[in-house]
Amino acid sequence: MKNGNLAIVDSLINDEYMQLIEAAWSKVGGYARDIVSEYEDDESAPATRAQALAWLRLAAARGVSHHSPVLPGGSALSFLKLARDAYPDFLAGESNGTHLLFSGDGLHIWRGYYSSSNPLYAPLNQAAAAALAERVKEGVPLRVLEIGVGTGGATLAVINALHQVATAPVSYLATDISASLLRSTADKLNQCPAGLIEFNFEPYDFNTEPTRQHVSTGGFDVVLAVNALHNAHNLPASLRMLSSLLKEGGVLITSESICGAGEQVHQEFFLNLLPLPAHRQGCSSRFLSSQDWQHAIGNAGLKSDIAINSIGPELMLLATVSTT
């Protein structure tokens, strides 16, 4: 019998999902082959682009199946196309992805990618929502802190789950390092039927001790992080600090994209247009492996129930972390 988190992960990363991943890789591989063919005899890409080029070469060399499923239209395909079109200028050192991905069409596609309407990404949101729903007790109020709320893709999945199970008030503090992203996400979330949920919004950088009123008050039943904590400069330190914001018996729930050693994550095709964060310099991926997560949680002196997908390469981790 599978434990709670493993049952959740395996219900989401199933055969149908693996078909989608194969379809995504078929696209990424094809695009990568087209891009690197321009660089076969020409090593003119600047050194700052070497890592992205090496990633593309690896992706281009992946085996090709002529029976691969076709990636359906939607935000994932749009994101891959946006990146494909951006690579020539990017590899020439004439642009970087920050402006491309965080304004105009790019931002619109970014929002769509991280929403649960994107079947390639939805499991991360749904896993967190399912794990959080399991913490809800009949008639008992709940205090939630979400970090790295971003576009609110995970938050919407959580709201839907809470509407199903909550029978007492839920205080939900949504935070992100980006005040502007948080403002636009607040506008979106404030339009949703609130039911028993009361939202607050506050900028917060999880690399630092909280100083602002709402976060620093602590006493949360759940700290939630969906695909955000891999950005922590010092993961054990952030985990320790976040767990200090929990009330006794509280938990930190995180769902994350993961990358096993020597593997690749399809999201990197577009994320590589952004600079690799300083704490991941020299690593082959901006995403951590399940082993990295286990070490970080252990180094933070915390206990955890960690699950990763049973089929396919390392794709998704769901962890419930606690001090006891």
**Residue 114 in contact with ligand SAM, rule: CB under 6 A:** yes
Among 184, 200, 207, 299, contact with ligand SAM (rule: CB under 6 A): 207
Stretch that binds ligand SAM, among 97-105, 198-206, 290-298, 315-323 (CB under 6 A): 198-206
Strands, E, within 116-257: which ranges? 142-147, 170-176, 197-203, 220-226, 246-257
Residue 116 touching ligand SAM (CB under 6 A): no
Nearest to 149 by CA among 116, 186, 113: 186
Give the SS3 label for residue 117: coil
Q: How many CA atoms lie within 13 A of 191 on its CB side?
A: 6
Binding flag, residue 258, ligand SAM (CB under 6 A): no
Of 154, 159, 258, 316, the one binding ligand SAM (CB under 6 A) is: 154
Residues 12-71 touching ligand SAM, rule: CB under 6 A, are: none
Comparing CB distances to ligand SAM, the nearer of 19 and 244 is 244
d(C-alpha 213, C-alpha 273), whole Å: 35
The token duo for 213 is 């009123």
When binding is defined by CB under 6 A, the residue of 205, 221, 256, 292 that contacts ligand SAM is: 205
255 binds ligand SAM (CB under 6 A): no
Which stretches of the chain are assigned E, i.e. beta strand? 142-147, 170-176, 197-203, 220-226, 246-257, 303-308, 316-322
Q: Is 227 in the site for ligand SAM (CB under 6 A)?
A: yes
Interface with ligand SAM, residue 112, by CB under 6 A: no
Whether 161 contacts 176, CB under 8 Å: no
In contact, 252 and 321? CB cutoff 8 Å? yes
- CB nearer to ligand SAM: give 142 or 181: 181
Question: Nearest approach, Cβ of 171 to ligand SAM (angstroms)?
Answer: 19
Q: In angstroms, rounded to a whole number, what is the distance separating the alpha carbons of residues 316 and 137?
A: 27
Q: Which of 26, 90, 162, 176 binds ligand SAM (CB under 6 A)?
A: 176
Segment 177-196, which members bind ligand SAM (CB under 6 A)?
177-178, 181
* C-alpha–C-alpha distance, residues 54 and 104, integer Å: 29
Distance in Å, CB of 5 to ligand SAM, minimum = 18
Stretch that binds ligand SAM, among 2-10, 20-28, 42-50, 222-230 (CB under 6 A): 222-230
Cα–Cα distances (Å) from 260 to 21, 234, 314, in that order, read 15, 20, 5
> Rounded to whole angstroms, how far apart are CA atoms 126 and 224?
12
Residue 309 interacting with ligand SAM (CB under 6 A): no
Interatomic CA distance for residues 222 and 136, integer angstroms: 10
Burial 20-30 (b: 16+ CB within 10 A, else e): bbbbbbbbbbb
Give me the least distance between CB of 37 and ligand SAM, in Å please: 30
Question: Please, which residue, 2 or 99, has the CB nearer to ligand SAM?
Answer: 99
Specify the residue for token string 């503090």: 173
Residue 36: enclosing H or E segment and its boundaries? helix 15-37
The reply on whether position 270 binds ligand SAM by CB under 6 A is no
Q: Collect all residues with Cβ–Cβ distance below 8 Å to 259 and sequence separation of at least 6.
A: 265, 284, 285, 287, 288, 289, 314
* Piece of the chain touching ligand SAM by CB under 6 A; list 17-25, 93-101, 172-180, 187-195: 172-180
Q: How many residues does the chain have?
A: 324
87 binds ligand SAM (CB under 6 A): no
Question: From the CB of 210, what's the least distance to ligand SAM, in Å?
Answer: 11
Q: Which stretch binds ligand SAM (CB under 6 A): 10-18, 32-40, 145-153, 240-248?
A: 145-153
Q: Give residues in contact with ligand SAM (CB under 6 A).
A: 114, 147-148, 150-154, 176-178, 181, 204-207, 226-228, 231
